[in-house]
Structure 1
Amino acid sequence: MKSAILAFLLVAYCFCLPNPLFKDATATVITDAQGHLLGGQIANDGQWRFPYSDSIPNKFETCIIQFEDAYFYKHPGFNPISIFKALKENLQANGIKRGGSTITQQVIRLARKGQKRTYFEKIIEIIMATRLEFSASKRKILTYYASNAPFGGNVVGLDAASWRYFNRNASQLSWAESATLAVLPNAPSLIYPGKNQKRLLEKRNRLLSKLLENSKIDSLTYRLAVAEGLPQKPYPLPQSAPHLLQKVAKTNQGKRMQTTIDAKLQKRVNYIVNTHYNQLKQNEIYNAAVLVLDVKTRQVLAYVGNTPTDKAHQKDVDIIDKPRSTGSILKPFLYAAMLDAGDLLPNTLVADVPTKYGSYTPENYNKTFDGVVPASLALSRSLNVPSVRMLQAFGLDRFHHYLKMLRLKDLKYNANHYGLSLILGGAESNLWDLCKSYAALSSTLNHYSDNSSTYFSNEFCEPTFFASEKVNFGKITPDKTIFNAASVYLTYQSLKEVNRPESDESWEFFDDSKQIAWKTGTSFGFRDAWAIGSTKGYVVGVWVGNADGEGRPGLVGVQTAAPILFDVFDVLPNSDWFAQPFDAMQEVSICKQSGHRASPNCDDVTEAFIQVSGLKTKPCPYHVLIHLDKNENLQVNTSCEDVGNIRHQSWFVLPPLMAHYYKSKNPFYKALPKFRADCLGENSVSMDFVYPEEDNSVFLPKDFDGETNALILKIAHSKPESTLFWYVDELFVGSTKMIHEMAIIPIAGKHIITVVDEFGNTATRKIEVDL
């Protein structure tokens, strides 16, 4: 029986400690890559109690042992002499006068919170304290105490107390500060910074005197320590990355998480955002977000989810992962996709003329047209009409498939839902996904150059902001992931040029010392402004706008987001430009004027490296060989001129509508010479409407006299000297020669405009007139 009882007591002793010892809710704490505190979120019970720390500073360890338990490293969990002295004093005083508890016993009492301070409870503490001494080292017991001791108010634990009372890490505290914290748990409800300062000062100085007496500190350190003042009130915890803290707390609540954030960079980016916010709010633009990624590691280096605005303007909303209209920010992906597929060369001419697809009529920002423009320039200038025409030529479903491979999670619908407006902001995405995509493009080039012209299978992966996570780029493979290296390089070459969407504002933001591939974007209604840029080492993404979606005049990417982008790049290290991926390229002859592969008729040719897939593009269609008389003024053929007198010349010829707009900005463009009158078999002619557009609705206003203004019809003809005959609903209204414009005043309703030239060629337009 005795043995059974003994065995029971032994088992009970072995399992008397709760597991875990402390179950209290803790604050969520994030640090930077070096362990510096970025911010904390208070525990669910309203206490500033940091997660358990397995380290304790030497100064605090010395102070707490000298103050609470000088024989800590010698006793088995309780100190019989201290207990005897305490019992004697308490009996003489007829009450609790002295505790006599060791640090180990105090750890047990903290774990068994709410228990009355009775002699029976003291016996239980002693038993459990000895058990704790068997299962944990002295050092670990000290860390238990430091992490759970009360320090006044709602501050629990050394780490929280050092930040709340001294605004720095516990390892950075002075002797005076460490002594101050060491005496607080003795009576945390009576004495703490801001309350009973005199008694607190006396207790601290007594401890410092004891440290001097026991040779723990020297006399100079003592004099300096007692001269230090006391903290007057708690400091707020650092909040360098509050929105990242929110994100971390969703999946790691109550934990201490080391992030990849660079604290110095985060502080600088915060300052940049705050500075621009003070300017932007003058125009009632209240929100902005910035994300900085390391291309090589795909780690987040800075995370600013919003401006320091107020709650009325949703300062707590993390914009970085919120879907917003993309504006023009997807255009580089279309350009890269067309290069990758071999549908385009970098400077291939793209039409920039009035365009209409059904009811959709894209317009350039400045409402003008260039006729034709090199594709790379269309991208760097962010021209809308060429972009829509490129998307229509490439294929909406085809481009949508590329975007899905980029894993843009806010692209939730099929291609037909977005239509051709997809390239101009018809879809939504977020700053996180867009930055990770640009980082993947940059990393594709870096890996291709660093790994013998090979790719990684998981290049387009998720970035990370946890220091414990390492991004897995997958296996080395000879096959591209999405875009080949040459297409990315040529896209970046275009984006490296000054990005002037429609004006000169961006020139002042261009920094010659840093080669940056960057792109801006502005959503319809001036609701979202974007700027994303990349160097070989870093990607910076910026969004500016209002969280509630309110548009504002001047909320344009190049005016609001680009200045922030370049300010952030200014505080980042310089890096070399990307190495050219020659193994993915082929040197070919290019027609300088058209950007196509040179045909035999091209007279101005240069050698250039293009993506290998571009070899399947057609030769230049715009240069033709024409035959001129000996004076080179008129076209001739063998029907009217001897072969020996005919001069052969290459000529750059655009279709009439393109030529009409092109020559307005290119005064040296020369139309084809006329045929000599005595020649037979003239070349074919062509014509096209300049205005109105197909299926266009036309409103005719009235002037001050109440008279309806005329509708001016306009057409471009390859032979302006030809006579054109105009009809409205099969009714002849007149003819034109050289200048092909016709003024009419039609009645309200639908009409068909027909134009016939003297060679029998016909052009028609359907319009609807509203008076």
Structure 2
Amino acid sequence: MGRKKKIVLILGQVLLFIVASFLVLDFIFPFPEHKLHRVSATIVKDNEGNALRIFLPPDGARRMHTDFAQVSPTLKKSLIASEDSWFEYHPGVNPVSIIRAAIANIIAGRIVSGASTIPMQIARMAEPKPRTLSAKLQEAFRAMQLKLHHSNDKLLEIYLNILPYGSNIEGVAAASYFYFGHDPSTLSLAESALLTTLPRGPVFYDPIRHPQQAAKGRNRVMLQLEQKGEFPSEEVNRNLKLPLPDKIRPVPLKAPHFCRMVLERSGRIPEIKTTLDYPLQQAAQDMLATHVARLRGDDIDNAACVIIHIPTRQIRALVGSADFFEKGYGGAINLAETKRSPGSTLKPFIYALAFDQGKLTPDSFVYDIPVDYSGYSPENYNRTWSGQVTVKEALARSLNIPAVNTLAMIGVVEFSKLLQKGGISTLNKTPLKYGLPLALGGCEIKLTELTNLYASLADGGKYRPLTFSSGTENISTQLLSPEAAWLTLEMLSSVARPDMNETWMLTRDMPEAAWKTGTSFGHRDAWAVGISGDYAIGVWVGNPDGRPRKGISGAVHAGPLLFDLLRMTVPGGKLPAPPEGSGISEVKVCAHSRRLVGPFCSETTTMRTLSGKTRLRPCKQCRQVFVDAKSGYRLSGECLDRPNIKKIIVRTIPTKLARWRAENNLEIPKLPPPADDCDLIPAGIAPKIISPAGNTPYLLRKDTPLKFQQVALKAEAEADGGILHWFLDGRLVAKGRFDEKLFTEISTGTHRISVSDALGRTDSVIFKVK
């Protein structure tokens, strides 16, 4: 074997030994990768990409992550040319640079040049050590490990994200924002040169404290880049004249409640681009603050609002309170996300579900008279009753009794399912725990979720999850039929507005609106939710500490803010058009009963129904009877063969309504009295006992005489029923007309109460007394 071959073989073996030793050491002492990925800040941005808020990491450093692709090519070129021009070729250390630096330092007799490559700088920043020969050797080893396990682009990304820029600023993303006010993708040559210079001496080259030194360092880098041919002279000369930054921008704190909510839901990730429209947010915040300033003179502390884009369900604005930094009024609480009693705001969905179940239409008659559901006796807000009203009127006037009756008809379980399917996450009890008070706000709901539920009415009855980040896939669920949703929305558009009289539609740019208010039990919360154009807006007003304020009202205190927000957000906004197709049909009904026209209905009207769903019964309230032409007495049976008989049409009313009207001294349509010499065949509706109630146990007090603990005897009966006879355990205890106030004493035990009218029609109930 020749001498040259031996030398080559020996060198090969040495090289192989070095490589094998390096790989063994790399396996035994792996690079601490976790030190390369420090916890960064979370940047919450608006829908235009502007920073709303920066949540700093636990150590308080202004550290913001950026991907390599998002960094300006100018900065990449500047860093590589200035710091490590052979970066793409060396294995982590540059032997040529080491030799050159060593010669320069020996000649100068001091350290005037370094040989650190970018990987070596990364290693030093990851594991800071005193600058000794041993530390340098370790840096070199770590640098080669970095080169072995990472691509060049990945190493540059790591480098760009951990460079120190002074004033607790780390990484080019943070430096670009706090020094220049924009992200690193648009850095100019002058800005890139300064960010190349600063890490060499963050204090010495601080552009705020030492602008002259910073300018010299920055310009030196640009001139070196010009000499190396990286940038043309014209561009360099133009950038040499640009000023340095004169201040460090503060950490932004816009839309604080919204940003905090986004952070809690998304977790700590480097960047969250949201759906917030900041100009709209700022305008809503100013408007809400103005209203709250007035409300505080009325002993109401705060308010919140949310604006949702209906087609996408994106939150475009959310104001959690009048002032986030205000103390004493719950300023830091996000009241748009706080659980509060919704008052009457759930009523539209009760009626909408009744439409879909085929049980009601907007023009159906419902009762507004006192009721008792096993001891639960709701009242209207003004403690008055209207007797019989249409569903449309009941909703427009926010009457409580019709809503409770309708909920009893459609079922609390079904209604609870509808709310949960519609995104209401706060219903954590069983439906029976809520019961019928659910119709009047006997639960807790967030303003954001309630407003999104209303958005479903304007979106063809489709529920879509609320979203705050752009690009989120939004899958819809059919909550209500398009027809039921539109009919409900139309009813809500007839609610009287606080901002205009009945001629508001003639006003230019005044938005059409469907809206509803609510006032919680105990005078604690006032709500107003409205729809116009592509937006759903919700407003809550009240005291964050739950302190009641007598007289608080959704219409008076929340409604004006709602309509100010609607005018600002959707001037001239329109309501959705009726759904296409034949889902809504016109049906002729009796004007008196709103049921299908019977043979004796003389007045008719048309009523919109849901095709294939609405179930209407024939009218039985318009009746034909036979009377004696002279006396006017009613005849039946064998008496119908008498001469001088004529037919007349009589309009009756339901027994429930008749009883209420009689108790309130209102006129009741009655059948002609029966002829004395003509036995009537019992017909019509039998009396129905409503007190005492079979499903309500009665309790006697030991300290009160029995004569003061009598139970009321009440029955619904037709006006032609005559005198009612009441029997307790087979013993006659009272008698009188159906509208008379009758009472009886009771004793402990199980009892049977029965009632019989003059025509022999009866009803009975078993009840218990303890």
Q: TM-score range by the shorter chain?
A: 0.7 to 0.9
Query: 1:588 matched to which residue of 2?
Result: 587
Give a deviation string over 1:672-724, Cα, whole Å, max 9, x none: 58669999779999999999x99999xxxxxxxxxxxxxxx99999889x999
For structure 1, which segment, 63-72 or 611-620, has the greater mean C-alpha deviation from structure 2 after superposition? 63-72
Q: Compute the displacement of 1:664 (Å).
A: 9.3
Q: Compute the displacement of 1:61 (Å).
A: 1.0
Give a deviation string over 1:158-211, Cα, whole Å, max 9, x none: 222333344444446666655554443232245546534554455456667778
Tell me how far apart the structure 2 counterparts of residues 66 and 398 of structure 1 sit (CA, whole Å).
Answer: 67
- The one-letter code sitting in structure 2 at the alignment partner of 1:466 is S
Query: 2:235 matched to which residue of 1?
Result: 217
* Residue from 362, 377, 387 that aligns with 1:346: 362
Pair 1:552 & 2:549 matched: yes
The aligned runs of 1:59-74 (5 Å cut-off) are 61=75, 64-65=78-79, 68-69=82-83, 71=85
**2:457–2:489 Cα contact (<8 Å) kept:** no
Tell me how far apart the structure 2 counterparts of residues 270 and 510 of structure 1 sit (CA, whole Å).
Answer: 30
Pair 1:373 & 2:392 matched: no
Provide closer, same or farther for how the CA distance between residues 369 and 153 of structure 1 changes in structure 2, counting only shifts above 3 A. same
Pair 1:566 & 2:582 matched: no
- The one-letter code sitting in structure 1 at the alignment partner of 2:403 is S
Q: SS at the partner of 1:269?
A: helix
Query: 2:329 matched to which residue of 1?
Result: 313
**2:81–2:225 Cα contact (<8 Å) kept:** no
Query: 1:449 matched to which residue of 2?
Result: none
Runs (5+) with no aligned partner, structure 2: 1-12, 700-712, 726-734, 744-754, 764-770
Q: SS at the partner of 1:562?
A: helix
Q: Compute the displacement of 1:294 (Å).
A: 3.7
Query: 2:487 matched to which residue of 1?
Result: 490
Query: 2:8 matched to which residue of 1?
Result: none
Tell me how far apart the structure 2 counterparts of residues 152 and 323 of structure 1 sit (CA, whole Å).
Answer: 44
Provide closer, same or farther for how the CA distance between residues 206 and 131 of structure 1 changes in structure 2, counting only shifts above 3 A. same
Q: SS at the partner of 1:243?
A: helix
* Residue from 346, 352, 357 that aligns with 1:330: 346
Q: Compute the displacement of 1:264 (Å).
A: 4.1
* Residue from 51, 71, 83 that aligns with 1:37: 51
Give a deviation string over 1:474-520, Cα, whole Å, max 9, x none: 7xxxxxx553333223222212222x5xxx73656997454443322
Q: Compute the displacement of 1:341 (Å).
A: 1.7
Pair 1:152 & 2:166 matched: yes
Provide closer, same or farther for how the CA distance between residues 352 and 608 of structure 1 changes in structure 2, counting only shifts above 3 A. closer
Tell me how far apart the structure 2 counterparts of residues 102 and 349 of structure 1 sit (CA, whole Å).
Answer: 85
Q: SS at the partner of 2:578?
A: coil
Query: 2:731 matched to which residue of 1?
Result: none
- The one-letter code sitting in structure 1 at the alignment partner of 2:335 is I
Tell me how far apart the structure 2 counterparts of residues 535 and 404 of structure 1 sit (CA, whole Å).
Answer: 24
Pair 1:115 & 2:118 matched: no
* Residue from 295, 316, 324 that aligns with 2:310: 295
* Residue from 286, 289, 295 that aligns with 1:280: 295
- The one-letter code sitting in structure 1 at the alignment partner of 2:424 is L
Pair 1:505 & 2:519 matched: no
Tell me how far apart the structure 2 counterparts of residues 414 and 510 of structure 1 sit (CA, whole Å).
Answer: 45
Tell me how far apart the structure 2 counterparts of residues 553 and 201 of structure 1 sit (CA, whole Å).
Answer: 66
Provide closer, same or farther for how the CA distance between residues 618 and 271 of structure 1 changes in structure 2, counting only shifts above 3 A. same
Q: SS at the partner of 2:415?
A: helix
> How many residue pairs get matched?
725
**2:451–2:536 Cα contact (<8 Å) kept:** yes
Pair 1:255 & 2:270 matched: yes
Tell me how far apart the structure 2 counterparts of residues 313 and 86 of structure 1 sit (CA, whole Å).
Answer: 65
**1:410–1:428 Cα contact (<8 Å) kept:** yes
Pair 1:185 & 2:178 matched: no
Q: SS at the partner of 1:45?
A: coil
Runs (5+) with no aligned partner, structure 1: 446-458, 475-480, 698-712, 726-734, 745-754, 764-771
- The one-letter code sitting in structure 2 at the alignment partner of 1:485 is P
- The one-letter code sitting in structure 2 at the alignment partner of 1:526 is H
The aligned runs of 1:58-137 (5 Å cut-off) are 58=72, 61=75, 64-65=78-79, 68-69=82-83, 71=85, 76=90, 87=102, 99=114, 101-110=116-125, 112-126=126-140, 128-129=142-143, 132=146
The aligned runs of 1:162-241 (5 Å cut-off) are 162-171=176-185, 180-190=194-204, 192=206, 194-197=208-211, 199-200=213-214, 203-204=217-218, 215=233, 217=235, 219=237, 222-223=240-241, 225-226=242-243, 230-231=246-247, 233-241=248-256
- The one-letter code sitting in structure 2 at the alignment partner of 1:278 is A
- The one-letter code sitting in structure 2 at the alignment partner of 1:8 is A
Larger radius of gyration: 2
Query: 2:284 matched to which residue of 1?
Result: 269
Query: 1:433 matched to which residue of 2?
Result: 449
**2:357–2:410 Cα contact (<8 Å) kept:** no
Provide closer, same or farther for how the CA distance between residues 52 and 473 of structure 1 changes in structure 2, counting only shifts above 3 A. same
Tell me how far apart the structure 2 counterparts of residues 139 and 594 of structure 1 sit (CA, whole Å).
Answer: 79
**2:662–2:668 Cα contact (<8 Å) kept:** no
Q: Compute the displacement of 1:375 (Å).
A: 1.4
Provide closer, same or farther for how the CA distance between residues 311 and 250 of structure 1 changes in structure 2, counting only shifts above 3 A. farther
The aligned runs of 1:649-668 (5 Å cut-off) are 649=649, 651=651, 653=653, 655=655
**2:687–2:756 Cα contact (<8 Å) kept:** no
Per chain length, whose mean CA-contact separation is higher, i.e. which structure has more relative contact order (CA < 8 Å, sep 6+)?
1
Q: SS at the partner of 1:24?
A: coil
For structure 1, which segment, 71-80 or 561-570, has the greater mean C-alpha deviation from structure 2 after superposition? 71-80
For structure 1, which segment, 155-164 or 172-181, has the greater mean C-alpha deviation from structure 2 after superposition? 172-181
**1:724–1:740 Cα contact (<8 Å) kept:** no
Tell me how far apart the structure 1 counterparts of residues 78 and 296 of structure 2 sit (CA, whole Å).
Answer: 51
**1:531–1:542 Cα contact (<8 Å) kept:** yes
Q: SS at the partner of 2:43?
A: strand
Provide closer, same or farther for how the CA distance between residues 673 and 192 of structure 1 changes in structure 2, counting only shifts above 3 A. farther
Q: Compute the displacement of 1:343 (Å).
A: 2.0
Query: 1:477 matched to which residue of 2?
Result: none
Q: Compute the displacement of 1:271 (Å).
A: 3.6
Give a deviation string over 1:627-660, Cα, whole Å, max 9, x none: 78999x9776697999878474463646585686
- The one-letter code sitting in structure 1 at the alignment partner of 2:603 is D
Q: SS at the partner of 1:617?
A: coil
Provide closer, same or farther for how the CA distance between residues 221 and 286 of structure 1 changes in structure 2, counting only shifts above 3 A. farther
Q: SS at the partner of 2:173?
A: helix
Query: 1:469 matched to which residue of 2?
Result: 472
Query: 1:6 matched to which residue of 2?
Result: 18
Tell me how far apart the structure 2 counterparts of residues 568 and 20 of structure 1 sit (CA, whole Å).
Answer: 49
Query: 1:359 matched to which residue of 2?
Result: 375
TM-score scaled by length of structure 1: 0.75
Q: SS at the partner of 2:331?
A: coil
**1:300–1:463 Cα contact (<8 Å) kept:** yes
Give a deviation string over 1:539-585, Cα, whole Å, max 9, x none: 33333333322222453222333334334433445455143254434
Tell me how far apart the structure 2 counterparts of residues 662 and 587 of structure 1 sit (CA, whole Å).
Answer: 35
Query: 1:22 matched to which residue of 2?
Result: 36
Tell me how far apart the structure 2 counterparts of residues 590 and 176 of structure 1 sit (CA, whole Å).
Answer: 81
Q: Compute the displacement of 1:523 (Å).
A: 0.8
Tell me how far apart the structure 2 counterparts of residues 579 and 328 of structure 1 sit (CA, whole Å).
Answer: 25
Tell me how far apart the structure 1 counterparts of residues 89 and 143 of structure 2 sit (CA, whole Å).
Answer: 11
Tell me how far apart the structure 2 counterparts of residues 673 and 256 of structure 1 sit (CA, whole Å).
Answer: 77
Q: SS at the partner of 2:527?
A: strand
Provide closer, same or farther for how the CA distance between residues 3 and 198 of structure 1 changes in structure 2, counting only shifts above 3 A. closer
Provide closer, same or farther for how the CA distance between residues 162 and 630 of structure 1 changes in structure 2, counting only shifts above 3 A. farther
**1:258–1:468 Cα contact (<8 Å) kept:** no
Give a deviation string over 1:426-458, Cα, whole Å, max 9, x none: 11222343344334444444xxxxxxxxxxxxx
* Residue from 522, 526, 529 that aligns with 1:532: 529
**2:87–2:117 Cα contact (<8 Å) kept:** no
Q: SS at the partner of 1:30?
A: strand
Q: SS at the partner of 1:324?
A: coil
